[in-house]
Structure 1
Amino acid sequence: HSYQVNHTQCVIVQLMYQINCGKAPLNTRIVGGQTAPAGSWPWQASLHMSGSHFCGGSLINNQWVLSAAHCFQGATASLLTVYVGRQTQGSSNPNEVSRSVSSVINHPNYNSATNDNDIALLKLSSTVTFTNYIRPVCLAASGSSVHSGEDVWVTGWGTLRSSANDLMEVDVPTVGNRQCNCDYGVGRITNNMICAGLREGGRTPGDSGGPLVIKQGDQWIQLGVVSFGIGCARPELPGVYALVSSYMTWINNQISSNQPGFVNFRSSGTDKSLTTSSCFILYLVFVVHSFLLLRARFEEQQLNQAAFVTNRVFLSV
C-alpha cells in the first residue's frame, strides 16, 4: 500500500509540473533583440565560477538546472554557484536567489570533438521557492517534432555585445538539420542537435548552456541547449543546440523525484531544407570553383614569371 501511495504521489507531482511549467506571468514579448524585462524568462539561470558568470542554464524543477556538458570540462561542483531570478550581472538583483551546486552530471556519451550529446544536469544544494521571477521551464518530450522556420527565443548575457550586463533576448527562426548540415559540413549536425538563427549572420545573445525556447499555448517549452556557433556572427552559420527531446529518458533517470514537466511539442511547419544530396552537389560546385580559381592564379603566376625572365634577357642584351 505504501508503494502505491508513493507512486501515486510521484505521478501527481509529475502531472503538476507538466501543467505548471513554462508559465511566465511577466512575459509579454512579441519581438526581440533587446534587453529582457525582469521576470520575462523566470527559468533563466546564471552559472558562476570564482565569482564570474561563465555559462547559462535553465531551471527545470525546484532543485535541478539543465545546461551544456562543455561548460564543465574539469570543473569542480564545489566551486560553482547558480543564480536564478537574476536580471543583471552589473548591479543588485532584488528577485534573485543563489545556490551552491552539490553535483554536476555530464551526459556519459558527450563527445568534446563533435559536440554530440552536449548536455548536463546540475543539482542544487537545496530547493528554491517559485515566484513570478523564479519558475521552471517545460522540456520538449520525446517524439516532439520541430521543423524549419519556427519562431524560437534565445536568452542570455552572452555575446550580443561584449559589455552586456542585462539579460538579453532575441527571437530567431529554426533551421532544418539538413540545411544546417549544408552550412557546417555534411555529418557535422547529428540527430541530437537542433539549429536556429539568421543565416545571413548576426549575433545572438545566448550563453553556452542556456535555453532555446518556444511557446505553445500558454507554456514555454525548451527545445534546445546552447552548444556551439552562438555569437560567431559568421554568415550562413546558425547556432547549434542540443536537442532536449532526445534526452527525456536520460534526464528522468537522473532525477528520481519531482521530475521535470515534459510536454509534447508539435510543429506546424514543414522542413524545406536542402537534402544531403543537394549538399553534396553544392560541395562539388565549391570544389570545382576552388580548383578553377587556383588554376587561374597558377597560370597568372606562370605568365608573370615568363614575362620577368623575358624582360631580364632583353635587358642583358
Structure 2
Amino acid sequence: NDSHWSLMCREEGTWFLAGIGDFSSTCLRPRAFSPLQTHSPWISHVTRGAYLEEQLAWDWGPDGEETETQTCPPHTEHGACGLRPEAAQKGMLWPWLAEVHVAGDQVCTGILVAPGWVLAATHCVLRLGSTTVPHIEVYLGRAGASPLPHGRQVSRLVISIRLPRHLGLGPPLALLELSSRVEPSPSALPICLHPGGVPPGASCWVLGWKDPQDRVPIVTAVSILTPRLCHCLYQGILPPGTFCVLYAEGQEDRCEVTSAPPLLCQTEGGSWVLMGMAVRGSQELFAAIGPEEAWISQTVAEAHFLPSSGSPYWPATGSDLCPPDMAGASSSPKAAALILLLLTPLIQD
C-alpha cells in the first residue's frame, strides 16, 4: 500500500511512462495517477535528456472522457515536412510556426526546421553586445497566446544557439537547439527548406502576427521581386544574401515586423517551403535561406532542402542593371511603390 505505483502504456511496441501513483491510492479503490504530460517543461528543464512525447494516441479530458486522438501526419513527396496547416479554434494552426520567448520579455517568430531545431532571426535571440546566451523557451502548436485544448501545445527549452561562421558580416539567421526532440504531429512538424530561386508557380506569404500580445497568426500575400528590381530599389544599401518582396496594396502593415516574421511559399505540389526571415526592422527585405544551405545542413542533418529551382535572388557583384531614374528610389517609399506598379509586368519575368 505504501509503494508508489507507476502507470505504463505501450503504443505500437514502445513503452511510455504515463503517470505516477497518487498518495491517496489504495488497493481497495481505483488508483489515481499524476500525469507526466503536465510536468514536461519542468522535467525537460531538470534533465535535458528525458525523451518526452506529447502526441500519444491516447488522451483524456478533465472529466475522464476520451478526447480526439492525435495521429502522426502522412508523408508528402518531400518527406514529413511542409504539410498544409489545419484549422484551430482560434485561427489557423501552422505546424512549423514557433513562438520564441527570450528571457521572458520578448517574443519572436521561429520556424521548426527539424525535430530538434528552430530557425530564428539572430537579432531576436541575441542581445547586441552581450556574450551570454539568454534563457529561451520555444512553444509550438499554438494559434494564439492561449494554449489550445487536447494537449496540442509543445514546449522546449533552448540549450544552445548556433551561428554561421561569417560572424563579421552580422549573420541574420540563428539555429536554436532544443532540449529534446519534437516528434512529428499535425500540430508540430518541420517545414521544408528551399535552396535558392523562386519555386515555379509558387504562391508566397509572410507569416506573422499583428498583435504581439494575442499572437494570432496571420498571412499576407506577397510577390518576390526579380533580382534586378530589388538591386535597383536598394542600390548601395542592400545587405548581401537578401531579397525583396512586394505586398498587395494596403497589406504592408498587417504583420508586426519586430518579431522577424518568415516568408513561406507553397509549391505547385502543395508543399510549404521556408524562403527567408525578415531583416531587422524591415517589411520588404528578407534574409534568404539558400546562401546558408551548407551551414544549415552541416548543423542540422535532418533539415530537408528541396531540389534547386528558379533563378538566384541577386545579380552578380558589380553588375549595373538599373536605369538612371531608379537610382535611390528606395529612399522614397511612395516613389518606389509607383515605380513597382509601373514595372509590374517585369516582376513576372
Q: When the two structures are superposed, what TM-score results if normalisation uses the length of structure 1?
A: 0.65
Across the two proteins, how many residue pairs are aligned to each other? 244
Contact 1:147 1:267 in 2 (8 A): yes
**AA partner of residue 240 (structure 1):** L
Whether 1:86 aligns to 2:86 is no
Partners of 1:81 and 1:284 in 2: CA distance: 41
Q: Which residue of 2 aligns with 1:21?
A: 81
Percent identity over paired residues: 27
Match of 1:266 among 263, 288, 309: 309
Matches within 5 A, 1:149-160: 151-157=203-209, 160=210
Partners of 2:306 and 2:286 in 1: CA distance: 18
Where do 5+ consecutive residues of structure 2 fail to align?
1-74, 332-349
Whether 1:245 aligns to 2:290 is yes
Q: Which residue of 1 aligns with 2:224?
A: 174
Instruction: Compute the displacement of 1:119 (Å).
Output: 1.0
Match of 2:261 among 186, 191, 210: 210
Q: Which residue of 1 aligns with 2:56?
A: none
Match of 2:182 among 107, 114, 128: 128
Partners of 2:178 and 2:293 in 1: CA distance: 20
Where do 5+ consecutive residues of structure 1 fail to align?
1-14, 29-34, 232-238, 288-317
- Over 3 Å counting, the alpha-carbon distance change for 1:173 and 1:122 in structure 2 is same
Partners of 1:18 and 1:213 in 2: CA distance: 16
- Over 3 Å counting, the alpha-carbon distance change for 1:36 and 1:190 in structure 2 is farther
Instruction: Compute the displacement of 1:248 (Å).
Output: 0.9
- Over 3 Å counting, the alpha-carbon distance change for 1:285 and 1:211 in structure 2 is closer
Partners of 1:163 and 1:180 in 2: CA distance: 33
Q: What whole-Å deviation, never above 9, does each CA across 1:146-174 have from its counterpart, x for those lacking one?
A: 289963111122xx356553122111111
Matches within 5 A, 1:1-317: 18-24=78-84, 26=86, 37-39=91-93, 41-71=94-124, 72-73=126-127, 74=130, 76-77=132-133, 79-89=135-145, 91-94=146-149, 95-110=152-167, 117-141=171-195, 144-146=196-198, 151-157=203-209, 160-161=210-211, 164-184=214-234, 186-198=235-247, 202-205=252-255, 208-216=259-267, 217-231=269-283, 239-255=284-300, 257=301, 259-264=302-307, 266-267=309-310, 276-283=320-327
**AA partner of residue 172 (structure 1):** V
SS in 2 for 1:58: strand
Whose helix proportion is higher, 1 or 2?
A: 1
- Over 3 Å counting, the alpha-carbon distance change for 1:64 and 1:24 in structure 2 is same
- Over 3 Å counting, the alpha-carbon distance change for 1:249 and 1:17 in structure 2 is farther
